[in-house]
Amino acid sequence: MANRGISVEVFTRATSSDQPPAAELAPGVLVRHIPAGPFEPLGRDELPAQLCAFTSGVLRAEAFHEPGYYDVIHSHYWLSGQVGWLARDRWGVPLVHTAHTLAKVKNAALAEGDKPEPRTRVFGEEQVVAEADCLVANTPVEARQLVSLYDADPHSVHIVAPGVDLERFTPGSRDAARDRFGLPRDAVVLAFAGRIQPLKAPDVLLHAAAHLLQRRPGLRDRLVVLVVGGPSGTGLEQPQALRELAVALGIEGQTRFLPPQPGERLAEVYRAADVVAVPSYNESFGLVALEAQACGTPVVAAEVGGLPVAVAHGVSGLLVPSHAAQDWAAALASVALRPDRRAELGANAVQHARRFSWQRTTDALLDTYAAAAHSFRNAVRAEVAV
């Protein structure tokens, strides 16, 4: 957006006293670090208690400008939506909201042993949906969920698929990527990247790998299960659970754990893999799947949420309709152990990912902002008439 001449300001909670009040991320993009609570990361359950402090900081930043300085608010996730709702009324500008995930959808697709989202979040989402001038859904599935589960006005819902930085996530040398992470060049590498929590289901990949070794014991010396990410959400309650599972399944020698990686190294993770697994129980879209495909790596994903949009089944990867270990083992093997098919899917994956560029997403968001402004002006005129 900044490249289009549009000034962008991002408000986020300060997590360190070393962070400046404002920092230029790029020309035209300013990040404001708002003090709200302790200077440290907080769990999702702790964040609602900081809504007042965060809202105060956002409103205070705007107060230093002339009225009308901001033209539109785009909130992401329900907590920011609560702040945006108040700022919208205070500043007299339209509110666009992207949920990213929805509590009612997550609660309907809980992994075994996972905790449901609290009622507080459900109420908060319902309020934001009711107040937003426009809602951005990642896929048609999410748009329908907003309408059917949250009574959203269908005319206020705009479908905008997330985009991928196609300059960063590009095909590259698999051998060079494996050398960077110390992986054998002849290994069969199954990769997972994401938050380590039940919803993302990295355990499904481990169970599938163990099942694959039972069926093909000759793979034991070549198989590498690469898990990239850190505990998050309910996964924080048992941060070592995945490592313990690898031991229990007898694949600790085949499993490698890496902490979350910055963008450039994450691209190398995708390039190093024969296949990237996205076994989530729910995904509003599945950006990891798209990033991996942009790097030329086929994806095997769960057939849930927005993943059927992110992955073209049989073209750029495979969709698995269950979370059973045997089904996942078969799907992963059919890609990772067949070089010709892997190469074909990988080439198609690059073409598929190019349909989801940052430029396309920006165009669609700007159209949504224009629609939100039109809706907001009409609502104001209606109030004045009354």
The binding site for UDP-N-acetyl-alpha-D-glucosamine comprises 195, 200, 261, 283, 291
Place of tokens 């992110």: 310
Report how far residue 291's alpha carbon sits from residue 358's, in angstroms, rounded to the nearest whole number. Answer: 12
- The annotated binding site is made up of 44, 77, 101, 121, 195, 200, 261, 270-271, 273, 283, 291, 297
- The annotated binding site for Mg(2+) is made up of 270-271, 273, 297
Report how far residue 35's alpha carbon sits from residue 60's, in angstroms, rounded to the nearest whole number. Answer: 12
Report how far residue 243's alpha carbon sits from residue 237's, in angstroms, rounded to the nearest whole number. Answer: 14
Report how far residue 20's alpha carbon sits from residue 33's, in angstroms, rounded to the nearest whole number. Answer: 7
- The annotated binding site for 1D-myo-inositol 3-phosphate is made up of 44, 77, 101, 121
Report how far residue 197's alpha carbon sits from residue 256's, in angstroms, rounded to the nearest whole number. Answer: 17
3-state percent helix, strand, coil for the chain, nearest multiple of 5: 50, 15, 35
The DSSP secondary structure of 190-250, one letter per residue, reads EEEES-BSGGG-HHHHHHHHHHHHHH-GGGTTTEEEEEE--B-GGGGGSTTHHHHHHHHHT
Report how far residue 288's alpha carbon sits from residue 309's, in angstroms, rounded to the nearest whole number. Answer: 13
Report how far residue 304's alpha carbon sits from residue 111's, in angstroms, rounded to the nearest whole number. Answer: 13
Report how far residue 257's alpha carbon sits from residue 229's, in angstroms, rounded to the nearest whole number. Answer: 8
Structure tokens at 378: 């009409």
- How many Cα atoms sit within 13 Å of 281 on the Cβ side? 21
Contact criterion met (CB below 8 Å) for 190 and 225: yes
Report how far residue 117's alpha carbon sits from residue 313's, in angstroms, rounded to the nearest whole number. Answer: 30
Report how far residue 209's alpha carbon sits from residue 215's, in angstroms, rounded to the nearest whole number. Answer: 10
The length of the chain in residues reads 386
